[in-house]
Structure 1
Amino acid sequence: MALQARPHLIDRLPKPRGRLTADAPLGQQTWFATGGPAEVLFRPADVEDLAAFLGALPADMPVTVLGVGSNVIVRDGGIRGVVIRLLRGFTGISVEGYEVVAGAGAPDLNVALTAREHSLAGLEFLSGIPGTVGGAFPTNAGAYGGELAEVLISAQAVDRAGRIFTVTPKELGLSYRHSDAPADWIFTSARLRAAPGDQLAITRRINEIDGARADSQPRSRTGGSTFANPPGHKAWELIDAAGCRGLKVGGAQVSEKHTNFLINTGAATASDIEKLGEEVRRRVFDKSGVRLEWEIRRLGEFQ
């Protein structure tokens, strides 16, 4: 007698208008290019589709949001439950007067370039953040003299029960690399404040940021800045002082170019990268007494 196949999680989920995929590979969709699969990957068609799906989802079902895969380690065992990616339907960018409205799936760079096309200044710093608009909220992402909290007018989010909210920066409690927003909120769009500017000057600033990144940051398989700067310190200086420049674990290495970046030299597992980060934290604490906090999110199960 043939054994009956075990039902897959995807068979128990509500049927959305968007796309559901079982056992979807995630590793190559991350900037580190390593890691396990999503048990189920959901790409909603729009905000209403996302809200309806979440509202019909069992309350105990794990839900994880994944952007363009920067600033994240997907562990080798993959991610249980439903992984949501906001792609088509969430990447639009529009300009309304001196305000820019961007979907959560829009790359930060594209927002900065759209503002430039309309001679709007104040969003150039976004060109230096390797991620999407939606990914900026949990850590109040910032770089090169700017941060989300300074330009955010309002944001739209969907909670785990499928309710849609519009909130202000004050309600989100944004501070350095921190947000008080509920952990289960999925941000779907943002309204950003800009100001009239000279297009040539805006272009120069974006080029300066790109040049600074090229000069100081590795362009290999990396997840971006690994640890938040502790109060009164720069993470890279603490890492360098602890003798971690070039340190390796398996196929993972601390960048020789910028020590607050970990890189996949070609065959690193997610475990290699995370173990390397923990070793860096240990050495920095032993040397300086400062405990570095991860800025990169670590998601999923160990293999």
Structure 2
Amino acid sequence: MPVVQIQQNQQRVNDFLSVALSQITINEPQLHQAMNHGLLLGGKRIRPFLVYAVGEMFGVEKSQLDNAAGAIESIHAYSLIHDDLPAMDDDALRRGQPTCHITFDEATAILAGDSLQTFAFELIGQAPQNAEQRLEMMQCLSKASGYQGMCGGQALDLAATNKQVSLAQLEQIHRLKTGALICAAVELGAIAANASRTHRELLNTFAQNIGLAFQVHDDILDVIGDTETLGKPQGSDEAANKSTYPALLGLESAQDKAKQLIEQAISSLQALPFDSTLLQAFARYIIARNQ
């Protein structure tokens, strides 16, 4: 289980982001504090871990991956700030702490999310890769976080609230809402490594499967977890009348689906001519975690 490596990368990306935020000229202190709150207040840092793990599998140094790792975590943090707003999921708790709009106010939370989104692309623009790679990174991240990815998935998710959706529709929602950024994390590491098209296709299959498995397991934890461990209210999906994998498939079948997705992900890694032990362990960790 790659817990130690995840923790090491957590600390690395946290340190990188803390320094990067501290170097911003502060024009409005409360907004800067809200950005820090949204970006640095805990989190598993799974997406940065994937950037580092994929890049290092190809022999890229961590120092060459910090900007991409920090950028994708900034996008993720902005999305969580906005997801928690009353107009979206209306959550008061995130990572065991009051959400950004509760700690500050709604307007500040909106602006903090907006600022972290643009901060992400600033980090990519400063990445140590060449201009062609930086451009490809920006295209990858913008597509994954916008209409064709995360934002589009969130819109579909909101539209499905209080409605019965099919399994295919639910998968489409989560391949965009959650999976797109996970795929982007893997892709960013591959771009930094100048990986071949064949290798990137195998990694994309891996990423799509772990991205969906991640969401299936999140849905399962919403049923079997507890608020203190999860850091957010247990049962919040059911309370919001959202379609979930346990609701559509039943708990046991949802657990089986998550396992199948992970086996498919590992199979893709095994076709790569590199040591993918860490990524395989991470895939298994996705459905073993309790938060």
Q: TM-score, normalised by structure 2?
A: 0.27
Q: Which has the higher strand share?
A: 1
Q: Which has the higher helix share?
A: 2
Q: TM-score, normalised by structure 1?
A: 0.26
Bigger CA radius of gyration = 1
